[in-house]
């Protein structure tokens, strides 16, 4: 079980690192030309990566039995939040 966890963490870290490199590689010239900073999108991506990591840690530390009690309302809220974006063709 411990080997599986280590493998899962290593795969996740590898995919995150590849994603960070791809974001920088794909957006640095555009950001330099349009925004004057080649690292604009990289910084933004790293910020949201940190926010996601903190939220994941918060969810992991929460007692899952408490989440079971609020699962249905959370599902309804998430479905409601999906509605405004459905059928939207504009950016």
Whose tokens are 């790293």? That residue is 46
pLDDT at 21 over 70: yes
Average pLDDT, the chain: 88
Separation of alpha carbons 40 and 32, rounded Å:
8
* Mean pLDDT calculated for residue range 42-63: 91
Contacts of 19 (CB under 8 A, 6+ apart): 45
* Mean pLDDT calculated for residue range 49-65: 89
Q: How is 7-59 classified by DSSP, letter by letter?
A: HHHHHHHHHHHHHHHHHHHHHHHHHHHHHS-TTHHHHHHHHHHHHHHHHHHHH
Model-level pTM greater than 0.85? no
């Amino acid at each position: 079980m411990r080997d599986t966890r280590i493998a899962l963490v290593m795969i996740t870290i590898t995919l995150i690192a590849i994603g960070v490199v791809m974001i920088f590689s794909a957006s640095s010239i555009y950001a330099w030309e349009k925004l004057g900073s080649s690292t604009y999108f990289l910084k933004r991506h790293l910020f949201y990566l940190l926010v996601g990591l903190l939220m994941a840690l918060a969810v992991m530390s929460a007692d899952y039995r408490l989440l079971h009690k609020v699962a249905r309302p959370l599902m309804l809220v998430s479905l409601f939040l999906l509605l405004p974006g459905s059928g939207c063709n504009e950016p």
